Amino acid sequence: MWVIFGLLAPLFWGIANIGDRYLSSVAVKNEYALTFAAGVLRLPLVIVFLWISGWFLPNLNSLIWVFISGFLTIFAYVFYFRAFQKEEASRVMLLYYTISPLVTFALSAVFLGERFSNYDLAGSLLLLVAAFLTVVKFQKGFFKFNIGILWVLLSGLFWPASDVIQKYLTPIFPSTSSLFAWTLAGSFIAGFVLLLMPDFSKNCKPNDFRWSKSSWLLFIINSALFFLGIFTFLKAIAIGKVALTVVLNVSQPLFVFIFELMMRKFRPTLWQVDTSTSSLIAKTTAFFLMVAGVWLFTFTHV
């Protein structure tokens, strides 16, 4: 049963990635408005999880760190949506899953005192090779770097940093739901703080949120799928093997790639997927290297 929950999480997230790709590239085309909306939509969940966790109030130092974590989480969405505007969704997620474990472990080693092992070094090497295969394209006998991947790298820095902060705060909070609630609250507040930035304030006027009903519906569904994915992932960890659940989680890029191929039949101009022999070989190799690298990380740390 835990395997089903372990696969449902990346499935839900993969569907949400496809929806986000459509929103950022066609329906809305405004990464700032999408990011702000993502922050605001967290308020109902804040209330729900605070109610579930018993309205625990952390100390001031913890609140500051929670806000920083929430700010990093929300700000990363800007780069996330920009990446979808420039690159295939499957390539974006494949690179993210090769970069984020490296960043998470590096930050954990520096700030939390976690130590390296031979398995970690081997996993790092595999993930670096996988990242290289993901970010370059082989065209006419030369490797070509796609600058659009830069946005993925930035989101791959911000989200893991937020995760490490939450790991640091875990002993302070009475439950996971309490920490989750306050992290969501930090994201909600951060959404309004971001309005102080010129680019955000300029692109988050009332007119920028006059989306079509279908766009709002898709945005809400995507958000629901994201949190549903978190629930099923935590459920899989609770009843199954943690390390294997984490490894199953990296099947998300594969789901996204399958969905892209399916969507290409309906709108080929939007869902342009590189299915050349060199690209498929690179993506397949990168995927298996990523799975192996993540497994080596989880072998000693989960």
What the block records as the tokens of 286 is 């990168």
- State the Cα–Cα distance between residues 195 and 214, nearest whole angstrom: 26
164-181 confidence digits (pLDDT tens): 888 888 888 888 788 888
- Within a 13 Å sphere around the CA of 50, how many CA atoms are in the beta-carbon half? 15
Report which of 198, 97, 205, 201 is spatially closest to residue 153, judged by C-alpha positions.
97
Condensed to tens digits (0 to 9), the pLDDT of residues 87-131 reads 888 888 888 888 888 888 788 878 877 777 777 778 778 888 887
Instruction: Say how far residue 50 (Cα) sits from the centre of its chain.
Output: 23
pLDDT-based confidence at residue 148 (cuts at 50, 70, 90): low
Which residue bears the tokens 């989480």?
73
The per-residue pLDDT for 218 is 95
Considering only residues 204 and 111, tell me which one the structure prediction assigns the higher pLDDT.
Answer: 204
| pLDDT at res. 281 | 81
Which structure tokens are listed for 151? 């946005």
Cα 133 to Cα 145: distance, rounded to the nearest angstrom: 10
pLDDT in tens, 57-74: 889 999 999 989 989 999
Task: Output the pLDDT for position 179.
Answer: 87
Rg of the chain over all Cα atoms, to the nearest angstrom: 19
Going by pLDDT thresholds of 50, 70 and 90, the confidence category of residue 142 is: very low
Q: What is the mean pLDDT of residues 250-262?
A: 85
Distance CA 260, CA 258 (A): 5
- Which residues in 254-276 are b (16+ Cβ under 10 Å) and which e? bbbbebbeebeeeeeeebebeee
Average pLDDT, the chain: 83
How far apart CA 47 and CA 53 sit, in angstroms, is 10
pLDDT tens digits, 5-38: 878 988 999 999 999 999 998 889 899 999 999 9
Instruction: Kindly state the helix (H) or strand (E) to which residue 143 belongs, with its residue range.
Output: strand 142-145
Over residues 279-289, mean pLDDT: 82
pLDDT at 214 over 60: yes
pLDDT for residue 103: 85
pLDDT score at 136: 64
Model pTM? Answer: 0.85
* pLDDT value at residue 141: 43
Residue 133 has pLDDT above 80, yes or no: no
Q: What is the pLDDT of residue 293?
A: 82
